[in-house]
Amino acid sequence: MPLVRVDIKKQQDPAYAKRIGQLIYAALRSAIDVPENDNFQILNEHDEQHFIFDPQYLGIQRTDNLVIIQITLSEGRTLEKKKLLYKTIVDGLHSQLAVRAQDVFINLVEVKKENWSFGNGIAQYAL
């Protein structure tokens, strides 16, 4: 169960954020085997004063087209699967929306399965 948060600078195209979300969901399904319909996303657009980033941190040249993606998911994926996920997201955003690889910032937050409740006050994944 990933929970995806996407933050971008406000865009002219109102469908742009949704298209980013669709590409991330496709990457999650193909790279780390997220099940069908397991799609929960929060897509945020910010004005310039509320979207702050360093344009050169770690020698990576970022532009105002930066896409910040935070994915909270259950722990246990291998390093290889995580790397595949990063690459799959970047490749999809680049090929479908012309987002530069340098403008994709991804943060994974891993949690224990007992830290999820999908509704009804029940920890559905707790063993």
The answer, as to whether pTM is greater than 0.85, is yes
The per-residue pLDDT for 113 is 87
Helix H, strand E, coil C: the string for the chain is: CCEEEEEEECCCCCCHHHHHHHHHHHHHHHHHCCCCCCCEEEEEEECHHHCCCCCCHHHCCCCCCCEEEEEEEECCCCHHHHHHHHHHHHHHHHHHHCCCHHHEEEEEEEECHHHCCCECCECCCCC
Residues 6+ apart with CB under 8 A from 26: 92
Domains and CATH numbers, the chain: 3-115 (3.30.429.10)
The per-residue pLDDT for 126 is 83
pLDDT of 124 > 90? The answer is: no
pLDDT tens digit string along 51-93?
999 999 999 999 999 999 999 999 999 999 999 999 999 999 9
Model confidence at 117, pLDDT cuts 50, 70, 90, reads confident
Catalytic residues: 2
